[in-house]
Amino acid sequence: SSRPLTPDPPPSRSDTYKGWLFKWTNYLKGYQRRWFVLSNGLLSYYRTQAEMAHTCRGTINLATAHIDTEDACNIVLSSGGRTYHLKASTEVERQRWVTALELAKAKAIRMMNDQSGDEEPTSQSDRSEIQGTLKILVSKLDDLSTCNDLIAKHGAALQRSLSELEGLKVPVEGGEKIKAVNERATLFRITSNAMINACRDFLDLAETHSRRWQRALQYEREQRTHLEETIEQLAKQHNSLERAWREAPTLVSSTPRSERSRKEEASDEDEDTEYFDAMEDSPAFITVTASENTQHRSMSPSCNDVSGKELQPRRQRRTHIPDKPNYSLNLWSIMKNCIGKELSKIPMPVNFNEPLSMLQRLSEDLEYHELLDKAARCDSSLEQMCLVAAFSVSSYSTTVHRTAKPFNPLLGETYELDRLEEFGYRSLCEQVSHHPPAAAHHVISQRGWTLWQEITIASKFRGKYLSIMPLGAIHLHFHASGNHYVWRKVTSTVHNIIVGKLWIDQSGDIEIVNHRTKETCQLKFSPYSYFSRDVPRKVTGVVADSGGQAHYILSGTWDEKMESSKIVQSSRGGSGSEGKQKTVYQTLSPKLLWKKYPLPENAENMYYFSALALTLNELEEGIGLTDSRLRPDQRLMEDGRWDEANSEKQRLEEKQRAVRRRREAEASDALDEGMKQRTGSYQPLWFHQRRDSITGETNFVYKGGYWESKDRQDWSMCPDIF
């Protein structure tokens, strides 16, 4: 006889608990339905109930396991380097499983301690403390019982009222809603009863086994300390090895075949080939991997190998900055009066900043510049599009932990990133407008490409979250082929402004167009959802030719990696979840396009900066007088002198306001005197406005002169903004 999909509540004396859960397998297949059995302190799982007789797919010992809950329906179990990411169908089902797991774990620890020898007598003070705690628990349990009686009484009355309403003649829709409310009321009563019973069981356990629990707790503390020390040593060794590998000369051009995520490494399941949904919404399609004779994992030979220039020794740059001080300040106390306002108009202390300006954050887009170097060597424009798409996604990888706000640049502030000798490119940013804040960016590379953009940041505080919308097009031109790509950025959202830990999500669609060949790439950044079975931060995409024929499927996450799969065949498939017909693509094995570099050692105390970000504010010789590295409040903040930085920030902002008032007065005087030109309007130093022939928009583009001024060391034209 088969069991129901939802497991029954665990009986208080039962040793076995069974039911269906969804288990994370890998990025291709996501969560898969598996049959789980909890017995004698061990959690085992099978593909089907029938497999219980012969094939166990994996087992975790709960005595040494850590049980964690990520969100409403998720459970994470980890023990001895093995991790299971599980998901229940409903929140109630998840809670039943957690209760069963916690009880089984407590029993397993109890049995382990019983076998470890006689108990040590507890002191009189410990005993009295335990008795006092138990008294409080008994009192609280009485309170809960009273509440339970009231809930039962009011719940019964509510259900009677709802039943009477169901009997009335109401429209069909109203009847359905009443029925749904009735079901929820029933579920609420069941849950509250289960909670009281769980509290009573817990009190019994606490009373019976308090001393053994103390010993178990002490043992766990010692083990945890030992594990933390071991993990810390391993993490340091791992970071050092990864850094050494990344900085070593690249002698092997092919990428290692095994590129598995942390979750995939945690899964010990040998999965067979299965169909999987690559994108749920638009465009709707299914892909299946075709068998291959060859196992090459890099892009095809049309993207030539790295040139010998990569082997030149690089200049040593800094690898750390002063640790972030532990200042406490309530973000809500400042932002509660700013709901609906532009973020750029909210006066914020440096406590919520990171010691980089928006111009430097913009320059961070170049962290994975080697993707563009490789794309420039591609003969195939479709393969080049895959690499350009991976580059557009890679610019978000640094944002996953970066919840602090960059400094708003002052009008006329610049930032140069001169990596000509090391990587063949030079980058220049200038703040060209203050309200709305807009920055112009221009990059020229000796390795065959030019990138330019003007980005205006529109941001709104919505109460619970903050929306950041970068407006403006990004242009990328490859010198040899003449391919010209244009795309725009997606919306970033900062969640938990009021309460909880801040976290960032990226959502929306990116369309990348090659205006020479009319080839396109549609990328979809899926917003995070508690109820989705998809991997978080998922990005999927399709690369198509000018006729709309799909050639590559792109998949991955914006914080970790992107892969491309070449389509070998497509056909119309069955209906999807909403009745829409899906296209079935048969593809070759996925090939790695991009993978995120590991964060530097101690990054959590250095604003979660990447290796590149740590170097951005490092002082350099010969830079322009308006460069962000010379901004005093930002420098003081990096040095940990936040009080001085706040005072300096106010001084700089007041100085900027005085300059603006003087400029507006001069413009007004010029108009009064009948002069034709508005001599008082602000003109950027290194960029000028031109109409773009492709987008039709008027943008600030680089007019030249900066690098020549740097070579001459003539900065006499620079305004005094600091």
DSSP state of 709: H
Q: What does the pLDDT read at residue 338?
A: 55
CA angle 666, 670, 675 (to 5 degrees): 155
Distance CA 277, CA 574 (A): 12
Range 430-452 burial, b when 16+ CB lie within 10 A, else e: bbbebeebbbbbbbbbebbbbbb
Q: What does the pLDDT read at residue 581?
A: 67
Q: SS3 of 372, please?
A: helix
Q: What does the pLDDT read at residue 78?
A: 87
CA angle 294, 300, 306 (to 5 degrees): 120
Assigned token pair, 8: 């029954």
Q: CATH classification of 339-661 is 2.40.160.120, yes or no?
A: yes
Sign of the CA dihedral 372, 377, 383, 385? positive
Q: Are 610 and 364 in contact (CB under 8 A)?
A: yes
| Mean pLDDT for back-to-back runs of 10 residues, the chain (722 residues) | 46 70 86 90 88 82 85 84 87 87 87 62 63 78 76 76 74 76 78 78 72 75 77 73 70 40 46 38 60 46 50 76 76 55 60 90 95 95 96 92 89 95 95 90 96 88 79 94 95 79 88 95 90 85 94 94 92 62 85 94 92 95 95 93 88 89 83 59 91 88 95 94 91
Q: Are 694 and 484 in contact (CB under 8 A)?
A: yes
Backbone angles phi, psi at 46, to 5 degrees: -140, 160
- One-letter amino acid at 624 equals G
Q: What does the pLDDT read at residue 514?
A: 96
Distance CA 377, CA 449 (A): 10
Distance CA 468, CA 492 (A): 5
Assigned token pair, 199: 């509290």
Q: What does the pLDDT read at residue 335?
A: 55
Distance CA 529, CA 636 (A): 39
Distance CA 334, CA 330 (A): 7
Distance CA 108, CA 42 (A): 9
Q: Are 512 and 520 in contact (CB under 8 A)?
A: yes
End-to-end CA, the chain = 78
Query: Closest by alpha carbon to 335, among 435, 458, 436, 464?
Result: 464
Q: What does the pLDDT read at residue 368?
A: 96
Q: Are 630 and 618 in contact (CB under 8 A)?
A: no
Q: SS3 of 603, please?
A: helix
Which positions ≥6 away from 63 have C-beta within 8 Å?
A: 41, 105, 108, 109, 111, 112
Distance CA 362, CA 637 (A): 20
Tell the CATH topology of 16-114.
PH-domain like (2.30.29)
Which positions ≥6 away from 657 have C-beta within 8 Å?
A: none
Distance CA 633, CA 654 (A): 13
Q: Are 448 and 397 in contact (CB under 8 A)?
A: no
Query: Closest by alpha carbon to 176, among 162, 187, 186?
Result: 162
Q: What does the pLDDT read at residue 277?
A: 38
Assigned token pair, 394: 């890679």
Q: Are 20 and 93 in contact (CB under 8 A)?
A: no
In the block, tokens 């109203």 appear at: 174
DSSP state of 146: H
Q: Are 526 and 505 in contact (CB under 8 A)?
A: no
Assigned token pair, 511: 């369309």
State how far the alpha carbon of 123 is from the alpha carbons of 120, 128, 129, 211, 212, in Å: 9, 9, 10, 10, 14
Cite the beta strand spans of 434-560 per DSSP E. 438-445, 449-461, 466-471, 473-478, 484-488, 491-495, 503-514, 520-525, 538-544, 550-557
Bridge partners (DSSP) listed for residue 37: 18, 44
Q: What does the pLDDT read at residue 200?
A: 74
Q: Are 413 and 429 in contact (CB under 8 A)?
A: no
| 0.85 surpassed by pTM | no
Sign of the CA dihedral 600, 604, 610, 612? negative
State how far the alpha carbon of 279 is from the alpha carbons of 2, 286, 540, 553, 582, in Å: 33, 8, 6, 10, 10
Backbone angles phi, psi at 563, to 5 degrees: -130, 155
Hey, how many other C-beta atoms are within 10 angstroms of the C-beta on 249? 10
